[in-house]
Amino acid sequence: MEIKWYIFLSLALFCIGIVGVLTRRNAIIIFMCIELMLNSVNLLLVAFSKMHLSGVAAQFPTLASDAQIFVFFIMVVAAAEVSVGLAIIIMMYRNTHSVDINFLNRLKN
C-alpha cells in the first residue's frame, strides 16, 4: 500500500483519541484514549520502517529495524506507565469515591 493510507489511518486514530481525551470525564476512559494514541504512533512507525526498506536505507542494514526496536521500547514504557497510572486512579477513587476528573479541580488551591 502507499504510505499515505497508513498516515491517514494513524491520523484518524490519533484524532479520535484526542477527541476522547477532550470530551470524556471518566479518568479510565481518558487513560484508554492515551493508549489509543500511543498505538496509532506505533502503527505509523512500523509502516515507515517498511517504507524505507528499499530506498536510501538499503546500505544501512539496521536502519529499518531500528524503528521496530523503537516500537518495542514504546510498548515497554507504556506498560510501566499503565501500572503507575492505574495505581494513581485507584488512589484518587479511594479519596473521592469517583473517577470524575473534575474532582481534581480541588488541587488548584
Partner 1 sequence: MNITQILFWFLSVLAIVGAAGVVGSKNPVYSVLWLIVVFFAISGHYILMNAQFLAIVNIIVYAGAIMVLFLFVIMLMNLNADAEPAKNMNLKMAGTIAGMCLMLVFVAALSRSDEMNRVSQMNGGDIGLIGYLGKVLFNDYVIPFEISSVLFLSAMVGAVVIGKKE
- Map the footprint of partner 1 across residues 47-86, applying CB under 8 A: 47-51, 53-55, 62, 64-66, 68-69, 71-73, 75-84, 86
- Contacts (CB under 8 A) with partner 1, residues 1-20: 1-9, 11-13, 15-20
Conformation bin of residue 31: beta by default, left when phi > 0, alpha when psi is -120 to 50 = alpha
Separation of alpha carbons 32 and 17, rounded Å:
8
- Applying CB under 8 A, which of residues 58, 96, 98, 104 lies at the interface with partner 1? 98
Cα angle: 41, vertex 38, 17; to 5 degrees = 100
Supply the minimum distance, in Å, between the C-beta of residue 41 and partner 1: 11
Q: How far apart are the C-alpha atoms of 16 and 104, rounded to whole Å?
A: 24
- Our finding on whether 103 is near partner 1 (CB under 8 A) is no
How many residues lie near partner 1 (CB under 8 A)? 72
Rg (alpha carbons) of the chain, rounded to whole number: 18
Among 58, 90, 96, 104, contact with partner 1 (rule: CB under 8 A)? 90
